Structure formats: C-alpha cells, structure tokens
C-alpha cells in the first residue's frame, strides 16, 4: 500500500489558492463596479457606461475559474439517488464511473468551447458597447473546462486506486478525503 505524496498535495493547494484568489478578486471587482454603477445612476443620474457588459464578462470568469476547484472537491450540485442502491463497499466503483462520465462530458465541452473561441477570433467578435474581444474569455472558459476534466479524471483514478487497495489512506474515500 502506498500513500499519496505531499508534493502533489502542495501543488494542488497552490493551484486552488490561485484560482480561488483570482475568482475572488474578480468577484470583488464585480461588486465594486455594480456599487459604483448603482450609486452613479441613483445619485448623479449617470451610470457607468458598459457596466453591464463588464459584469457579464466578470461573471463568466468567476464561474469558470471556480469550476476546477468545485470539480476537485466534488462540491457541485448532486442528487443522491444512487446512495441507497450501492452498498458501502462499492461506493468507490460508483464514484469512478460518475467521475469518468463527468470527465468525458467536460472534455467534450472543452473542445466545443475552444472551437467557439477560435471562431470568435476569426470573426472578430467583440462586446456590443465596449468592443472588448470575447475570444480571450472563451479560451479561458475552454481551458478551465479542460483542467476540470483532468481533475475529475485524476479523482476517478484516486477512487479506483483506493477502492482496489493500492492506496492505503489519503484518497477520496478516506476520512478527510482529498489527496
């Protein structure tokens, strides 16, 4: 039996902190922009031009920057329909299957979104009012989908290794559960 090395855990924590930090800063910026826009509109009858477009772009960035962390922690919305069907000793197998299905879905979405980013650049797509090129944001979304797919694949591998007894502790099924 082996244990998961701590170097990978440190790298995961750094990646998590960076993604959460950038997403948090973006969310904070979105809050400041909305506050300034509402204040300007209410008190001075002068809203910030393009605030809606910037808010939409920042919202997309927050969602997709948070996706890899959510996928790794398995904190997405879930329904426990299969919990009663699977005996406790087979939970690892169910989790391997679920994570592989999620990996495939995320990978397909990443490919499609990447193609949309390429099309946005080739067509010169920009936002309507501020004329900001949206291809960069679309590429960011595709990259975050691909990273999420890789993390769910790694999660499936961890479940498999712990389920068949290769990993003694430190995998997803262990108490405290994130490798």
Please state the pTM of the whole predicted model: 0.86
| pLDDT for 133 | 96
| pLDDT for 33 | 97
Q: Report yes or no on 127 lying in a domain.
A: yes
Q: Report yes or no on 1 lying in a domain.
A: no
Residue 2 in contact with residue 168, Cβ under 8 Å? yes
- Domain with 79 in it: 6-163
Q: What is the mean pLDDT of each run of 10 residues along the chain (179 residues)?
A: 56 88 96 96 93 96 95 83 78 91 98 98 95 97 98 93 77 56
Q: Report yes or no on 106 lying in a domain.
A: yes
Q: Report yes or no on 173 lying in a domain.
A: no
Structural domain count, the chain: 1
| pLDDT for 141 | 98
């Amino acid at each position: 039996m082996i244990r998961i090395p701590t170097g990978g855990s440190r790298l995961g924590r750094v990646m998590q902190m960076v993604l959460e930090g950038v997403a948090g800063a973006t969310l904070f910026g979105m809050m400041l922009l909305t506050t300034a826009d509402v204040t300007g509109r209410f008190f001075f009858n002068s809203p910030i031009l393009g605030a809606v477009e910037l808010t939409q772009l920042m919202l997309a960035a927050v969602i997709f920057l948070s996706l890899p962390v959510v996928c790794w922690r398995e904190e997405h919305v879930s329904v426990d329909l299969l919990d009663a069907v699977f005996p406790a000793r087979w939970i690892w197998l169910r989790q391997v299957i679920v994570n592989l299905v999620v990996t495939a879905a995320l990978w397909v979405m990443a490919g499609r979104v990447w193609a949309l980013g390429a099309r946005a650049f080739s067509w010169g797509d920009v936002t309507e009012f501020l004329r900001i090129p949206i291809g960069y944001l679309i590429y960011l979304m595709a990259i975050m989908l691909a990273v999420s797919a890789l993390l769910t694949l790694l999660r499936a591998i961890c479940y498999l290794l712990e389920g068949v007894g290769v990993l003694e502790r430190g995998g997803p099924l262990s108490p405290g559960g994130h490798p």
